[in-house]
């Protein structure tokens, strides 16, 4: 009897372009990026790290609500988004606010999402995205549908969606990639494997040695990428996008990454389930440190440039929070009016009740 598990696992070696010292180890696979694009990628990563630090602080001050930290995942989140075009559609999970921001969602609206205000979810015209999905897995089946729709419309665009390592255990995860495969739909499914689903390590999710190999069950391409290497993440996404718009179907990309912070700011304490050694090990892989070295060696990045980005980020965050503060408070009458195109009689009745209360 022929055993095949080892053969399958061997097909999912981690794809890497930059090592931890910022050296090119896979030069032939280096994506075609101009100096300006390389600097823009770094700018976005630094900016997003500051956004995370400020968001945690603002959350602690009670000036933000729900917040899922992103530090450590910059390469995974921004490397994938950087490979997209404006017409591509993002279906993010709850940790994937940065991708939305870089796809065009104004920062103050991202803050309103955190606080729990519907205006935070009103994508501006031309920003092709849904707001962050709370139900783990739901974005995957929806992404298959978005991609099918694009294919039917003959568009040269893709749907991209994100979940975590824990999310790969959901039925909707599997159904999503399987539907997209069956219809050869232009979808990119990203699994950001940061090794923990709240407190549960990835080893408790599955006996599979990689998450990328789950693509095999859908009969689609799967790739495991060093998720701390922005060039590898970008190259894998770019390749998946090209194949998708050329009618070659979906791809599953597993990014090996790490969240330096807690799961969310709602009382999770990672010291209960993570060791200092593990934290230290992954801090050495910091995607910003690595890419900084790479750019400095090329003479494309300096401390001054970085400080400029940091200052800009802080200023814009301050302005965005101020703008969010200025957003009118929500009224029940507005919530009612957002339910249906035409309100049924029972809601008309309740609308009148609340309008009367609100006018007092």
Partner 1 sequence: MAQMTMIQAITDALRTELKNDENVLVFGEDVGQNGGVFRATEGLQQEFGEDRVFDTPLAESGIAGISIGLATQGFRPVPEIQFFGFVYEAMDAINGQMARLRYRTGNTMNAPITIRSPFGGGVHTPELHADSLEGLIAQQPGMKVVIPSNPYDAKGLLISSIRDNDPVVYLEHMKLYRSFREEVPEEEYTVELGKANVKREGTDVTLVAYGAMVQASMKAAEELEKDGIQAEVIDLRTVMPIDIDTIIKSVEKTNRVVVVQEAQKQAGMASQIVTEIQERAILHLEAPVLRVAAPDTVYAFTQAEEVWLPNYNDIIEKVNTVLNF
For partner 1, the binding residues (CB under 8 A) are: 89, 91, 118-119, 121-123, 130-131, 135, 138, 140-150, 152-153, 159, 171-172, 175-176, 178-179, 182, 335, 337-341, 344-347
Q: Is 346 a catalytic residue?
A: no
Pick from 338, 330, 339, 337: nearest CA to 358: 330
Placement of tokens 């080893």 in the chain: 203
* Relative orientation angle of helices 35-60 and 74-82, to the nearest 10 degrees: 130
Closest to partner 1 by CB, 73 or 131: 131
Task: Verify whether residue 263 is a known catalytic residue.
Answer: yes
- Do the beta carbons of residue 223 and residue 189 sit within 8 Å? no
Write out the two tokens for 44: 């976005």
Nearer to partner 1, 175 or 306 (CB): 175
Rounded to the nearest whole angstrom, what is the least distance from the CB of residue 8 to partner 1 in the complex? 22
Q: Give min distance, CB of 123 to partner 1, in A.
A: 6
Q: Which is nearer to partner 1, 43 or 178 (CB)?
A: 178
Closest CA to 164 of 254, 270, 285, 232: 254
Q: How far is the CB of 68 from partner 1 (least distance, A)?
A: 17
Of the residues 95, 117, 241, 263, only one is catalytic, namely 263
Q: Which is nearer to partner 1, 56 or 91 (CB)?
A: 91
Nearest to 93, CA basis, from 68, 127, 122, 120: 68
Question: CA 72, CA 286: separation in Å to the nearest integer?
Answer: 6
What does the DSSP assignment read for 19-61? -TTS-BS-GGG-----HHHHHHHHHHHHHHHHHHHHHHHHHHT
Least CB distance from residue 78 to partner 1, whole Å? 24
Nearer to partner 1, 146 or 212 (CB): 146
Beta bridge partners of 162: 190
How far does Cα 106 stand from its chain's mean position? 16
Residue 179 CB, shortest distance to partner 1, in Å, is 5
Query: Of the two residues 16 and 99, which places its CB atom closer to partner 1 in the complex?
Result: 99
Q: How far is CA 32 from CA 40, 45, 232, in A?
A: 14, 19, 12
Taking the complex as a whole, the smallest distance from the CB of residue 154 to partner 1 amounts, in Å, to 11
- Which of 54, 259, 290, 292 is the catalytic position? 259
Q: Helices marked H in 97-186 — which ranges?
A: 97-103, 107-115, 138-153, 171-182
Which CB sits closer to partner 1, 73 or 139?
139
252 near 217, Cβ under 8 Å? no
Measured distance CA(82)–CA(47) in Å, rounded: 14
What minimum distance in Å lies between the beta carbon of 175 and partner 1? 4
For residues 242 and 349, give the distance between their C-alpha atoms in angstroms, rounded to a whole number: 52
Residues with a catalytic annotation lie at 259, 263, 273
């Amino acid at each position: 009897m022929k055993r095949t598990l080892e053969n399958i696992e061997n097909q999912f070696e981690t794809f890497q372009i930059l090592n931890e010292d910022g050296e090119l180890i896979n030069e032939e696979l280096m994506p075609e990026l101009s100096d300006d694009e390389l600097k823009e990628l770094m700018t976005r990563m630094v900016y997003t790290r500051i956004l995370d630090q400020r968001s945690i602080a603002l959350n602690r001050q009670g000036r933000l609500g729900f917040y899922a930290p992103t530090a450590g995942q910059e390469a995974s989140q921004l490397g994938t988004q950087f490979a997209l075009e404006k017409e591509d559609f993002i279906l993010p999970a709850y940790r994937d606010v940065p991708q939305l921001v870089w796809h065009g969602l104004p920062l103050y609206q991202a803050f309103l999402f955190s606080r729990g205000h519907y205006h935070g979810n009103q994508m501006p015209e031309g920003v092709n995205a849904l707001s962050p999905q709370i139900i783990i897995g739901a974005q995957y089946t929806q992404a298959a549908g978005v991609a099918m729709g694009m294919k039917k419309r003959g568009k040269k665009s893709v749907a991209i969606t994100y979940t975590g390592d824990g999310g790969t255990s959901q039925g909707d995860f599997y159904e999503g990639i399987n539907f997209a495969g069956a219809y050869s739909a232009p979808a990119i499914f990203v699994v950001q494997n940061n090794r923990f689903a709240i407190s549960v390590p990835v080893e408790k999710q599955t006996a599979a040695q990689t998450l990328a190999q789950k693509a095999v069950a859908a009969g689609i391409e799967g790739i495991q990428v060093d998720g701390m290497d922005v060039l590898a993440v970008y190259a894998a996404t770019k390749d998946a996008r090209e194949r998708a718009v050329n009618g070659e179907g979906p791809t599953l990309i597993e990014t090996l990454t790490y969240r330096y912070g807690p799961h969310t700011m709602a009382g999770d304490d990672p010291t209960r389930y993570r060791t200092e050694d593990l934290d230290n090990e992954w801090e050495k892989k910091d995607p910003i440190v690595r890419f900084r070295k790479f750019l400095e060696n090329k003479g494309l990045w300096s401390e001054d440039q970085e400080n400029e980005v940091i200052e800009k980020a802080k200023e814009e965050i301050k302005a965005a929070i101020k703008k969010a503060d200025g957003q009118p408070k929500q009224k029940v009458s507005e919530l009612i009016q957002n339910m249906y195109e035409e309100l049924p009689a029972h809601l008309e009745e309740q609308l009148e009740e609340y309008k009367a209360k609100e006018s007092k």
